[in-house]
Structure 1
Amino acid sequence: MGQRILIVDDSPELGESLQLYLSRQGFEVDVAHNGAEGRALIDKRKADLILLDVNLPDESGFDIARDIRRISAIPIIMLTGRKDEVDRIVGLDLGADDYVAKPFSAGELAARIRAVLRRAEAAAAGHRDDAREKQNAWFGGWQMDLGRRRLLSPDGREIRLTAGEFDLLLALVKYPLQVRSREQLLTSTGENAAEAFDRAIDTRITRLRNKIEPDPKNPIFIRTERGVGYVFCQKVNWR
């Protein structure tokens, strides 16, 4: 059985055409036409990825994405008829893995779906590179449990990270006190730099800071090197 895609979009024509196309590509596809139907299907049947329209008749797709991210790291691709960069940033800030503006080709969307699923699968497998063979990274009282892909705060609480956030933090932690460019970070997290727009890494950095920094506006862990990239400012111990 193929991977299951949930489409939440208020256009019956788009939902039907995507369901037909993606089914031919080997996916199992469910379709919902409003937020209530989408939430019901999310609760009823496990999906491997959600295509989520921003403008639904009964509620904002942003609200659904926010609620999903509180309990799950399931990949989300936001769909919208608007092309404002602000909307893209809001979607990524809420934890979306990609953002596609309408109109789009079914072929491009299928390629993006496969790319996001590959990243999620690689993340779940643990990315067994040299650094990840070490089971734990410690910095400033924080612990990254690489085997179980968990981040624990100094007081022992688990801080929920999406797959993309965990990979980005690891890409920084692997090179402490070294400046890493946005392109290097995109490559380290398994993303195609040519496909990602300029603010993708910046937005995820903001989300990470909100989760680990005592004062996100005055970061002590992830510092910005203007015009270059980012640097992880803490010493890291591996054990």
Structure 2
Amino acid sequence: MSDMKILVVDDSSVIRETLESYFTEEGYTVSGAGTAEEAELLLAEQEFDLVLLDIRLPGKDGLTLTRELRTRSEVGIILVTGKQDDIDRIIGLECGADEYVSKPFNAREVLARGKNLIRRVRKQRDLAKNQSEEPTLRTIGTWQLDTSRRILLNSDRSVSQLTEGEFQLLLALKANEGEVLTRDQLMDRIKNRTWNATDRTIDVLIARIRRKLSEDPSCPQMIITVHGVGYLLSENPQVDSLCEPS
């Protein structure tokens, strides 16, 4: 486990040292940073499996760093905040975070979440590096869902990375193509994640998937909203559209 690296980013030296000590005792290699700027220097030098990131930081905040990290990396990200406000949690997920914990937190719970996330990150990296494995491609409009690498490939060769939650939801929609899945059914598909999915979480993930599919949010043709019920993946997105004409 010593090759698994964790970065703890918190401006509180007490919290930072507490988490560093706890994860080190569990056999992880842990680094600490008091600001986003210090964290960026470490991230440029090393590949981490997990970042424990405080939202409220001096200078660049944790949400901004999360958004920037997610554009170039699939590192596991757990956001930590002192606020109980659900809005922070939703914004964090929209920025691409995997998990969310509120202070005061139980260190053992953070450890459990971290272990689960690291396993998933490692598995995804191993699949991406395995060049001998034939990719499993599933067609979604002009895109191909590569289930081995968990990415979207467009006909113009552009690539969109998927987080675990996005991948699981898109896979569920594809497996039930043309059928409406309720939010409850979609929540069941990601119940293995350590944070509890809600209706709002599903909506956030759907919005993120649509952006990655380059969908017009006012008139999506691939992932259709069935009001009062849930979502469906269109079997013929070039023709099907449930949008009202403007």
TM-score by length of 2: 0.84
Give the SS at the match of 2:149. coil
Using the TM superposition, give the Cα deviation of residue 123 of structure 1 relative to its aligned residue in structure 2, in angstroms.
4.3
Q: Give the structure 2 partner of residue 60 of structure 1.
A: 61
User: Where does 1:57-206 land on structure 2 (aligned, <5 Å)?
Assistant: 57-124=58-125, 135-189=136-190, 191-192=192-193, 195-206=196-207
Contact 1:187 1:193 (8 Å CA) reproduced:
no
Amino acid at match of 1:4: K
Change in CA separation of 1:125 and 1:179 when aligned onto 2, cut-off 3 Å: farther
Amino acid at match of 2:72: I
Question: Gaps (5+ residues) in structure 2?
Answer: 128-133, 238-246
Q: Give the structure 2 partner of residue 129 of structure 1.
A: none
Give the SS at the match of 2:139. strand
Question: Gaps (5+ residues) in structure 1?
Answer: 127-132
When structure 1 is superposed on structure 2, of 145-154 and 62-71 the one drifting more is 145-154
Q: Give the structure 2 partner of residue 44 of structure 1.
A: 45
Number of matched residues?
230
| Distance in 2 of aligned mates of 1:140 and 1:165 | 17
* Aligned residues with identical type, % of pairs: 40
Using the TM superposition, give the Cα deviation of residue 172 of structure 1 relative to its aligned residue in structure 2, in angstroms.
1.3
Using the TM superposition, give the Cα deviation of residue 72 of structure 1 relative to its aligned residue in structure 2, in angstroms.
0.7
Contact 2:145 2:152 (8 Å CA) reproduced:
yes
Amino acid at match of 2:137: N
| Distance in 2 of aligned mates of 1:201 and 1:235 | 23
Give the SS at the match of 2:96. coil
| Distance in 1 of aligned mates of 2:230 and 2:194 | 14
Give the SS at the match of 2:41. helix
Amino acid at match of 2:11: D
Give the SS at the match of 1:52. strand
Give the SS at the match of 1:199. helix
Give the SS at the match of 1:30. strand
**Cα displacement string for residues 23-75 of structure 1 (whole angstroms, at most 9, x for unaligned residues):** 12222111101111111111111110101111111211111111111111111
Amino acid at match of 2:63: F
Change in CA separation of 1:114 and 1:235 when aligned onto 2, cut-off 3 Å: farther
Using the TM superposition, give the Cα deviation of residue 216 of structure 1 relative to its aligned residue in structure 2, in angstroms.
1.4
**Cα displacement string for residues 66-101 of structure 1 (whole angstroms, at most 9, x for unaligned residues):** 111111111111111112221111110010001111
Q: Give the structure 2 partner of residue 18 of structure 1.
A: 19
Give the SS at the match of 1:71. coil
| Distance in 1 of aligned mates of 2:192 and 2:184 | 9
Query: What is the alpha-carbon root mean square deviation over aligned residues?
Result: 2.3
Change in CA separation of 1:228 and 1:125 when aligned onto 2, cut-off 3 Å: farther
Change in CA separation of 1:125 and 1:172 when aligned onto 2, cut-off 3 Å: farther
Amino acid at match of 1:231: L
Change in CA separation of 1:185 and 1:119 when aligned onto 2, cut-off 3 Å: farther
Q: Give the structure 2 partner of residue 221 of structure 1.
A: 222
Change in CA separation of 1:134 and 1:73 when aligned onto 2, cut-off 3 Å: closer
When structure 1 is superposed on structure 2, of 19-28 and 182-191 the one drifting more is 182-191
| Distance in 1 of aligned mates of 2:162 and 2:202 | 15
| Larger RCO (CA under 8 A, 6+ residues apart) | 1
Amino acid at match of 2:230: G
| Distance in 2 of aligned mates of 1:191 and 1:122 | 15
Change in CA separation of 1:217 and 1:26 when aligned onto 2, cut-off 3 Å: farther
Contact 2:135 2:146 (8 Å CA) reproduced:
no
| Distance in 2 of aligned mates of 1:194 and 1:97 | 8
| Alignment partner of 1:8 is 2:2 | no
